[in-house]
Amino acid sequence: MGNVMEKIIDENKQGETLILDKKEGNQRKLFIESYGCAMNFSDSEIVASILSEQGFNTTQKLEEADLVLVNTCSIRDKAEQTVRKRLQQYNAVKRTNPKMKVGVLGCMAERLKTKFLEEEKIVDLVVGPDAYKDLPNLLAEVDEGRDAINVVLSKEETYGDISPVRLNSNGVTAFVSITRGCDNMCTFCVVPFTRGRERSRDPQSIIEEINDLWSKGFKEITLLGQNVDSYLWYGGGLKKDFEKATDLQKATAVNFAKLLELSAKAQPKMRIRFSTSNPQDFTMDVIETMAKYDNICKHIHLPVQSGSDRILKEMNRLHTREEYFELIDNIRRLIPECSISMDLIAGFPTETEQDHKDTLSLMEYVKYSFGYMFTYSERPGTMAGRKMEDDVPEVDKKRRLNDIVQLQRQHSEYRTRQHLNTTVEILIEKASKKSDQQWSGRTSDSIVAVFPKEHYKVGDLVNVYITDCTSATLIGEAVGYSKKN
Ligand code: SAH
Ligand code: F3S
């Protein structure tokens, strides 16, 4: 999980290079990097899978790549600047390897479209999030020396029929995508424009993917969507067209609580997580399902964005502060051990000091386990971008963000300390970053714990007695295997 500051600067970090299991006979080399949200990392696994059928194996060496793809993020201006800088680095390498082709995928491709080809001469290929199946055709164009672009958004595409190649995998945890796009139209957010209207993936293909992951040794999956709680399968098509579905389709529709249950039952030993939840779409039956199944991890990422009713309204977040508290109370009542994390934006247009204080007092009420905190970044084309002046001075935004980060640090510490002198169940994911003598993994409520390796191995579910902690990491000693292994 890292500490709070690490999370804020997440998008500054260089995107991770991905490793693909090599397919025999493949001659061409693909270098693929992802920036931004988990959905982008998951999408890159789909892209790698499509391209492995086109003769590409991945490489981690930029210099030897025939094709360089960067999966991009548009959520904040800073995220876009990071990608632009990275393109310049590719450019330097391309001078020594003129045959190298460069493609831009994801949200920036969708947002900037042909502008990308004009602005960044280095780019040969621009592909939006719904057009990855067209990559073989687009690459044929590029091979013939032409620029290629497909940024058409789809009503149906969920890539449910593509079996992702797990890249840079620890072999233990994996993402399973369940919805694409978003219909919520929060006024600050570019996602509905870059990822299109909301569609849900066939539950059968989701369960098959979970079963396949289990058979390959994976122990934990995260069901992924911009807004998982609005998942709704009624035979395919856009969420907004559900009204037009037949009576039979309506009667047999699968909602998120049901999908969660199906997933938990399909592999009772697989740990199940999900992300992200918009409070306005979160329903009691999801909390009940979480409470009922031991293998559903007890953590909810529940972004609130602001603690002020007026700002929530301006953001088109369709719940009040009071309703959010009710939801928190319900979660705590049914699952007392459940951790809750958040996203918050400081300095949304018209935000006053009083609005900011409301955010701090909301945080005091919830005492989140951790959070991702940002200053407002105006995005062209969004409702706030078009209709509202970005009027909170940068210094005030930064100061308010700092207040939020400081308070969150106290709350993280408070929540982490609650695990002291208890035994927690940890799924071992990898060696600790700080010491290769220690394992690192997460509790069900998504707190990172480190402990001496002893005879345990990656993928083991281990009981760990917690003796110490930092503000965000538990420190302990293994006391034996969990009975659930
Ligand atoms: N539904 C997705 C939203 C993705 S954006 C999810 O909840 O994960 C992730 C977070 O980025 C949002 O919750 C919000 O806090 C932040 N964000 C989105 N647009 C932003 C903007 N224009 N400026 C600053 N932060 C923004
Ligand atoms: Fe963005 Fe709101 Fe959807 S934050 S992704 S429009 S739920």
Q: What is the pLDDT of residue 121?
A: 87
**Residue 401: nearest ligand to its CA?**
1
Phi, psi for 453 (deg, rounded to 5): -65, -40
For residue 305, the ligand 1 atom closest to its alpha carbon is 15
Q: Distance from the CA of 76 to the center of ligand 1, in angstroms?
A: 8
6's enclosing H/E stretch is helix 4-8
The residues near 190 (Cβ < 8 Å, ≥ 6 apart) are: 74, 75, 107, 111, 379, 381, 382
CA distance 357 to 359: 5
Choose among 301, 407, 400, 408: nearest CA to 355: 400
User: Cβ(126) to ligand 2 under 6 A?
Assistant: no
Model confidence, pTM: 0.93
Nearest CA to ligand 1 atom 4: 226
- Ligand 2: residue of 111, 182, 342 to mutate (most ligand atoms within 8 A of CB) is 182
Q: What is the pLDDT of residue 14?
A: 37
Token pair, residue 430, equals 């990898």
Contact 296, 264 (CB under 8 A): yes
**Residue 224: nearest ligand to its CA?**
1
User: Cβ(308) to ligand 2 under 6 A?
Assistant: no
CA distance 163 to 20: 13
Query: What lines the ligand 1 site, CB under 6 Å?
Result: 37, 75-76, 188-189, 191, 226-227, 276, 303, 305, 343, 345, 374, 376-377, 379
Hey, how many other C-beta atoms are within 10 angstroms of the C-beta on 142?
Answer: 18
Q: What is the pLDDT of residue 485?
A: 83
pLDDT in tens, the chain (485 residues): 333 333 333 333 334 434 445 778 889 999 999 999 999 999 999 999 999 999 999 999 999 999 999 999 999 999 999 999 999 999 999 999 989 999 999 999 999 999 999 988 899 999 999 999 999 999 999 999 999 999 999 999 999 999 998 988 999 999 999 999 999 999 999 999 999 999 999 999 999 999 999 999 999 999 999 999 999 999 988 999 999 999 999 999 999 999 999 999 999 999 999 999 999 999 999 999 999 999 999 999 999 999 999 999 999 999 999 999 999 999 999 999 999 999 999 999 999 999 999 999 999 999 999 999 999 999 999 999 999 999 999 999 999 999 999 999 999 999 999 999 999 999 999 999 999 999 999 999 999 999 999 999 999 999 999 999 999 999 999 999 999 88
Contacts of the segment 240-243: beta carbons below 8 A, 24+ positions apart: 240/183, 240/197, 240/198
Domains of the chain: 16-150 (3.40.50.2300), 173-414 (3.80.30.20), 423-481 (2.40.50.140)
CA distance 249 to 329: 34
Token pair 């391209």 is found at: 51
Please name every residue paired with 465 in a beta bridge, in sequence order, or none if there are none: 423, 477
What single letter denotes the amino acid at residue 485? N
DSSP H helices in 295-424 = 309-314, 321-334, 353-366, 383-387, 394-417
Q: Distance from the CA of 109 to the center of ligand 1, in angstroms?
A: 18
**Residue 186: nearest ligand to its CA?**
2
Q: What is the pLDDT of residue 25?
A: 86
Phi-psi region of 253 (alpha: psi -120 to 50; beta: other; left: phi over 0): beta
Q: Distance from the CA of 317 to the center of ligand 2, in angstroms?
A: 9
> Is 146 exposed, middle or buried (CB count within 10 Å of its CB: 0-12, 13-18, 19+)?
exposed
**Residue 191: nearest ligand to its CA?**
2
Contact 449, 440 (CB under 8 A): yes
Choose among 180, 147, 148, 149: nearest CA to 162: 180
Strand 438-442 versus strand 473-481 pairing type: unpaired
CA distance 223 to 178: 6
